[in-house]
Amino acid sequence: MTMKWWQRSVFYQIYPRSFADQNGDGIGDFAGMAAKLDYLHRLGVDAIWLSPHFPSPFLDCGYDISDYTGVAPEYGTIEEFSHFLQQAHTRGIRVILDLVLNHTSDQHPWFRESRSSRDNPRRDWYIWRDGRDGGPPNNWAAIFGGSAWQLDPTTGQYYYHAFLPEQPDLNWRNPEVKAALWSVVRFWLDLGVDGFRLDAIATIFEHPELPDHTLAVSPDAIVDANELPWDDYWQLLHFQLHQPGLHELMQELRALVDSYPGDRVLIGEDEQVAFHGSGDDELHLVFNFPLMRTERLTPAHIRANQAQRLAELPPGAWPCNTLGNHDSPRVWSRYGDGTHDAALARLHLALLLTLKGTPVLYYGEEIGMANLELSDPGQLRDTTAIRRYRMLTEREGVAPQAAMGLVAASTRDRCRSPMQWNSTPNAGFCPPEAHPWLPVHPNHRLGVSVADQEGDPGSLLSFYRHLLGLRRATPALVSGDYQLLDPESEAYLAFTRRDPASGQTCLVLLNFTPAQLTPGIDPGALRGRLLFSSTGRPDHELTLHDLTLTPFEVLIAELLEAEPRTRN
Ligand code: GLC
Ligand code: CA
């Protein structure tokens, strides 16, 4: 089977607001992003996933769209978008967009019309219901807290929102809605984009009869459903997620995308492998989020994750691994231990680039950007965090400073701070006299910047470049099968990637401890050719049976002379 581009590629997520500000208004823009394409090309990524770049009131940082076929004016114009796309393509970099199908902004003209009267032709484009006993139609909660229903005084009915009240859900059972969104999809495909990351697909349909959920909790007590224990989350949202019709809809979207040349790709923001359909008739990729769902990336966790994930994928489906995005803490901070963060960051990248599947990186990860620590509520930009702060201080009587501490430790603003290009004030993201939309992390002065790491062969950035280059040049790391070598060790991870087409087999050894160790593994060969070692071993050929790993070593070798195995 020949591999598709999206199976071979490494994706890099850009949060447009935070990447590079060219016009000095403190907000990233397309001119800025275009100017950084050479950087991304040199880094060695193959594709960009752009978080939403559409006009938006930015209550959910662009995931509240008020015009699906436009460009946010602060980011630029459609011409600048096209220029960016064309410049990316010139460098062999593909670009996928963020497609938010579930909801619009409440400022979208469709919703303004819909809410204007009960008999407006767009009334049924959203989900309107009468209240019950003087309250909302049922006990459903919004994922971002509070009731999922908002009373609209103009018409006296409630509308449904899975997320913020400013993000009303579209009614996907209305064929006009579907037609309108499919023409949005065509608009961008016609412009030449290479596919879409599909936002929050699980929320597209709701149970039509609106049955009450059975979790004993009031919607007002929920601040962010994502923080509930797993079972409670599913019980709470039982009738709001993964409703019938979803897979048929995704198949329809796939057929639409497939009607374009060039293998355009669909990546679902979901972890359920059911979205692969029968392997090749629904979404191309869904994220392996369970890999991220842990405090520490231990060998045991990774092994269990891979065993389960690879077993449950339907034949023909391809994995997709990631460790960070705009909704989760920075990889550096989340999986670091406070002492060996730099070594762990290298190990975690090596993991992502050597596991089977398409890796998705998040901007700034390559220089070790850490969680932004905010101390002043006025700096918060994520509406969910602002709501939490208000709830804590106004409803629960928590003192402002303590409340801010709690919010600072959970806000999504932590991972959205401006990209750190150099060590000057504002980190080269915007001019020194400008006011960036979120503060720049102070560690841009302490070596966490592109300029500081660029020429340093020992930097994290150099490590990223090196490993991305190695992956690209090593067929087994891209397309090989994954075979675990040690089912037990708490200290290291050992596996091979075997590519039948090229005959190449690579051995990957990752030492997760600060101690030297000798893995007791049998990779099926006595000798290996060293492809990479994070400790810079001098030898080109390795004897594999008594190999000793240095602390936190990443070692990748190509197996030589596979030994014929004898059964006895
Ligand atoms: C997705 C996005 C998140 C957004 C939510 C609602 O989960 O990743 O940032 O807030 O959808 O659109
Ligand atoms: Ca700007």
Tens-digit pLDDT profile for residues 323-374: 999 999 999 999 999 999 999 999 999 999 999 999 999 999 999 999 999 9
- Counting ligands in written order, the one closest to the CA of 80 is 2
* Residue 60 in contact with ligand 1 by CB distance below 6 A: yes
Sorted by where each begins, the domain ranges of the chain are 5-101+174-206+243-373+418-463, 109-160, 480-559
Determine the distance separating the centroid of ligand 1 and the alpha carbon of 517, expressed in angstroms. 42
Q: How far apart are CA 414 and CA 406, in angstroms?
A: 12
Using the atom order of ligand 1, give the atom closest to the CA of residue 162: 6
Using the atom order of ligand 1, give the atom closest to the CA of residue 60: 10
Catalytic choice (46, 166, 269, 553): 269
Burial of 57 (0-12, 13-18, 19+ CB in 10 A): middle
The one-letter code for the residue type at 118 is R
Instruction: Dump the DSSP string for 454-509.
Output: HT-TTSHHHHHHHHHHHHHH-HHHHHPEEEES-SS-SSEEEEEEEETTTTEEEEEE
Give the other-Cβ count within 10 Å of 443's Cβ. 18
Token pair, residue 373, equals: 């620590």
Contacts of residue 490, defined as CB under 8 A and 6 or more positions apart, other chains included, come to 298, 299, 300
* Residue 166 in contact with ligand 1 by CB distance below 6 A: no
H helices, E strands: number in the chain: 17, 17
**What is the torsion angle, in degrees rounded to the nearest 10, for the CA atoms of residue 37, residue 42, residue 44 and residue 49?**
-10
* CATH number listed for the domain at residues 109-160: 3.90.400.10
Token pair, residue 113, equals: 């019309």
* CATH number listed for the domain at residues 480-559: 2.60.40.1180
Token pair, residue 459, equals: 């930097």
Q: How far apart are CA 142 and CA 277, in angstroms?
A: 28
φ, ψ for residue 160, nearest 5 deg: -95, 140
Determine the distance separating the centroid of ligand 2 and the alpha carbon of 21, expressed in angstroms. 4
Determine the distance separating the centroid of ligand 1 and the alpha carbon of 465, expressed in angstroms. 30
Determine the distance separating the centroid of ligand 1 and the alpha carbon of 325, expressed in angstroms. 11
3-state DSSP helix/strand/coil % of the chain, to nearest 5:
35, 15, 50
- Going by alpha carbons, the residue nearest to atom 4 of ligand 1 is 63
Q: What's 4's DSSP letter? A: P
Using the atom order of ligand 1, give the atom closest to the CA of residue 102: 12
Q: How far apart are CA 492 and CA 300, in angstroms?
A: 9
CATH of 5-101+174-206+243-373+418-463, one of 3.20.20.80, 3.30.428.10, 3.30.465.10, 3.40.640.10: 3.20.20.80
- Going by alpha carbons, the residue nearest to atom 12 of ligand 1 is 63
- Going by alpha carbons, the residue nearest to atom 7 of ligand 1 is 200
Determine the distance separating the centroid of ligand 1 and the alpha carbon of 293, expressed in angstroms. 17
What is the model's pLDDT at position 562?
56
What is the model's pLDDT at position 142?
98
Burial of 160 (0-12, 13-18, 19+ CB in 10 A): buried
* Residue 224 in contact with ligand 1 by CB distance below 6 A: no
Is 64 noted as a catalytic residue in this protein? no
237-260 tens-digit pLDDT = 999 999 999 999 999 999 999 999
Q: How far apart are CA 266 and CA 249, in angstroms?
A: 13
User: Residue 357: which region, alpha, beta or left (left: phi > 0; alpha: psi -120 to 50)?
Assistant: left
Instruction: Dump the DSSP string for 360-379.
Output: EEETTGGGT--------GGG
pTM assigned to the model: 0.97
Catalytic choice (46, 152, 199, 553): 199
Is 269 noted as a catalytic residue in this protein? yes
pLDDT at 226 over 50: yes
380-405 tens-digit pLDDT = 999 999 999 999 999 999 999 999 99
* Substitution site in 60, 104, 382 for ligand 1 pocket (most atoms within 8 Å of beta carbon): 60
Determine the distance separating the centroid of ligand 2 and the alpha carbon of 453, expressed in angstroms. 25
* Residue 200 in contact with ligand 1 by CB distance below 6 A: yes
532-561 tens-digit pLDDT = 999 989 889 999 988 999 999 999 999 997
Handedness of CA 387, 388, 394, 396 (dihedral sign): positive
- Counting ligands in written order, the one closest to the CA of 32 is 2
Read off the pLDDT of each residue in 78-83 and give the average, rounded to a whole number.
98
* Substitution site in 224, 325, 327 for ligand 1 pocket (most atoms within 8 Å of beta carbon): 327
* Residue 204 in contact with ligand 1 by CB distance below 6 A: no
Determine the distance separating the centroid of ligand 2 and the alpha carbon of 365, expressed in angstroms. 22
Percentage of the chain beyond pLDDT 70 is 99
137-155 tens-digit pLDDT = 999 999 999 999 999 999 9
